[in-house]
Amino acid sequence: MHSDKKTVLLGVTGGIAAYKSCEIVRGLQKAGVRVKVVMTENATKFVTPLTFRALTHEEVAVGMFDDAPSDPIHHISLAEEADLFLIAPATVNVIAKIANGICDDLLTTTACACTAPLVVCPAANVHMYESPANQRNMGLLALHGAKIIEADAGYLACGDIGKGRLADVDEIVRQTLLELGLTGDMRSTSVLITAGPTIEPIDPVRYITNFSSGKTGYALAKAAHERGADVTIVSGPVAVEAPEGVHVIPVRTAREMRDAVAEAFPACDIGIFAAAVADLRPKGEADHKLKKGIDDAALQTIELAQNPDILAEMGAHKQEGQVVVGFAAETNDVIANARKKLLAKHADMIIANHVGRGLAFGTEGNEIWMVTPDGEEHVPYMLKPELAHVILDKTIELMG
Ligand SMILES: Cc1cc2nc3c(=O)[nH]c(=O)nc-3n(C[C@H](O)[C@H](O)[C@H](O)COP(=O)(O)O)c2cc1C
């Protein structure tokens, strides 16, 4: 019996990357997963069923009408056994069939009969991959709830350069384990992250803002998602792309950000306030474009009003068990100022950094100090995606 192990049904189709499926089997097995393989007839031209039988110590399913050792209705028993159906590599052909409910061989029929999560890893020549039909079919699969692990770009077996190479095997294994709920130290944790600048209108065409790029907040969101967290970003206007699988609430002003945060934060375990929220806003937005010669007084002196302090509000109202992390960009006395902020805002940690030395805003990396009630830790310069994981490690520690 295999009842204590999760079962991944690995579908192998007729692409050149089929040889990499052997490594996927090994990676999943190393993580304690039982792997059963189902292949298309065409896949057997690339790798033999014998190889997979030897690796998995299981019968390898190929023909729709082959005599399965245990069950004559093989596609149903295979589908029921699976905790997850992973198709890697998935040909353009098989993607098209599954997306459209075609069941003309054992693999596609099993996919249709399977109610377990489906993870699809496409691989093909760049033109096949990017063909409108394939793009539409991948979109359809995603719409039906499948997880698509997109192909990488690079040199392809056919000699072309472009997108189409099977995603990295380690990444496929990692995401599969995450989907199975076997890894991810932040699974069942919900995280709210604010990111980017806010913009504060002067009139319909002008506004006050700052240099925040959103890269830190978005890197944190991506890292938390990779670790299995349920992530929401409340984001000011940024040029960075939202990570896949993360819920984004776009806002413009500090007040909009405050309202979105106040609504979402009570349901979250962690709040990371990485946005550069404007402290002040023009008092009253003009309802028309201010004009030289007509509105000179209003243009020359912009009266300012205080914006809500989102970190302070959330810190003051945090519930038992919630962790609040704030950011402090300082030009001097970095740690002392961060510690003051930690106390004043009732935060659990302040990520402090030195601005004005070519670091922080808009850059690819940063050097930080993680200031908590127990002390401070210096984190030397590293790229923001790596830094995000260091910050999350510490945040998880604070959750206790
Ligand atoms: C050498 C070779 C490599 C191929 N590589 C791929 C590939 O990487 N991706 C793909 O979608 N089709 C590829 N094909 C085409 C498929 O094998 C073909 O579409 C076949 O019908 C797929 O069958 P299946 O989807 O039932 O496995 C390749 C064909 C050959 C001859």
Q: Which atom of ligand 1 is nearest to the CA of 105?
A: 26
Residue 15, ligand 1, Cβ within 6 A: yes
Residue 42, ligand 1, Cβ within 6 A: yes
**Residue 158 known to be catalytic:** yes
Q: Which atom of ligand 1 is nearest to the CA of 17?
A: 8
Nearest residue to 388 via CA among 204, 280, 243, 174: 243
Strands, E assignment, 58-189 = 84-90, 118-122, 147-148, 152-155, 161-165
Give the bridge partners for 118, in sequence order. Answer: 85
What CA–CA distance (Å, rounded) separates 84 from 238? 36
Mutate to test the pocket of ligand 1, among 12, 44, 91 (most ligand atoms within 8 A of CB): 91
Tokens of 185: 């130290």
Q: Whose CA is nearest to atom 16 of ligand 1?
A: 14
Mutate to test the pocket of ligand 1, among 10, 12, 16 (most ligand atoms within 8 A of CB): 16
> For residue range 333-376, what is the model confidence (pLDDT) as tens digits?
999 999 999 999 999 999 999 886 655 566 778 899 999 999 99
Residue 16, ligand 1, Cβ within 6 A: yes
Contacts of 277 (CB under 8 A, 6+ apart): 194, 198, 254, 257, 307, 310
> Could you give the domains of the chain?
7-179 (3.40.50.1950), 190-399 (3.40.50.10300)
pLDDT tens-digit profile, the chain (400 residues): 445 789 999 999 999 999 999 999 999 999 999 999 999 999 999 999 999 999 999 999 999 888 666 677 888 888 899 999 999 999 999 999 999 999 999 999 999 999 999 999 999 999 999 999 999 999 999 999 999 999 998 877 777 788 999 999 999 998 999 889 888 889 889 999 999 999 999 999 999 999 899 999 999 999 999 888 999 999 999 999 998 789 999 999 999 999 999 999 999 999 999 999 999 999 988 999 999 889 888 888 999 999 999 999 999 999 999 999 999 988 889 999 999 999 999 999 999 998 866 555 667 788 999 999 999 999 999 998 899 999 999 999 999 8
- 85 C-alpha to ligand 1 centroid (Å): 20
